Structure 1
Amino acid sequence: MLETKEKVMSALEKTLLSDDERESMTANPARQDEAFLKGAYAYLSTTALTARYSVISGIIEEHNCDRILDIGCYTGGLRASLNRHRAYHGIDISAHAILEAQKSYSHIEHTRFTVGDVRTVRFPEESFACVVWAGIGFGYSQADNQSFIDLFDKACEFCSENGILIFECIEGYSWIQTHIERVSKILNVLQVTYPLATVHNKRTLFISRKI
């Protein structure tokens, strides 16, 4: 059993992370549990960033997607913004993040969470009308571009025929459009900013359809 009470740092300790420390942890797949426990992703839970879930859920409603896969779901915050009749499956590499997600949302019908690395996980005989990728994987591209290509191919593999893919990234990563166009047709691009956020406050959403 995960002993989160012994490992999770206090709110004060979490605020002491420098930008370099936070980036070092969040960019490394092997350090995702550490990043969660030390509060490197705490900014995602602030009210300044909650609007991102509303935007993504609105797109899902517009396209009437009945099954959603949330890659890098963190603590499952997107589930709370979705229509409860829509099936939701969240996956994250951090076991502690998934534990928190299960505590908060597993009581909702049609809700599942999986601990796993999206690069290797399999969903036999299962596909999703919408795949959401909100910020995961940008550290991989620092190692080699092929890793990034592999992640996009995997996301597209999870998507059903004519399904949609929603990618969120920091505005500075707009070069990612070339990767999206390899696997899908871009339907819309939204510039979404969060002026009150202290970290990563400018976001871009790419909405695309699998080809």
Structure 2
Amino acid sequence: MVRFSSAQVLLTATLATFAQAAAVRWMPLGDSITDYGCWRAWIWERFQKEGYNVDLVGGEKAGENCNGLNFDRDHEGHPGFMAVDIVAKNQLVDWLKKNPADVVTMHLGTNDIFRGNRKTAEITAALGKLIDQMRESNAAMRIIVAQIIPLPTVDKQVQELNQAIPAWAASKNSTVSPIWVVDQWTNFTSADLKDGIHPSESGDVKMANKFYPALVHAIATLDGK
């Protein structure tokens, strides 16, 4: 398992060595931080500039202007949703059936803590079940899990979850379906939150800059699967 942070830009793929025969299907999975977030738009723009053929997939379409960027709006970000409820209602199975994916980025846990007062072990158990469901949909799924952005009102619990994620992810890692952890918490400041919960424009840019190297790396591994 590889951990990605803002200081790590381990890009093993170059456009000279990576030729995509078909679009890679990327599902951004999460709550309102995924739904509202323009970080998806910044990543999409960078994919276009650098020649990657990526199709965002999901049953939702956010309506944000995102500085006028014309981007692929498909995703599975659901405002207010908790990981434990997505599992309890078996929702991801249907989402993936309708919109199959090759790569999933998952930023979940904020509402489990903020709204549900769920403990770390409950949240990681739910995340683990979601990973199992991803692999049932696609045995070679590439999975990128975020250590979530700060939530000032309950950030002690956020940090506890984030501290648990690397060891939990290592326990779920697979050669066939690898997991990468992206640290979205470190260097994310109050100025990067527009309302104490959701990223501001600077927060969106930081999230994009952290997710992008992991996505490029995941795409590179698909080339040789």
- More relative contact order, 1 or 2 (CA 8 Å, 6+ apart): 2
Q: TM-score, normalised by structure 2?
A: 0.45
Q: TM-score, normalised by structure 1?
A: 0.47
Higher share in strand: 1
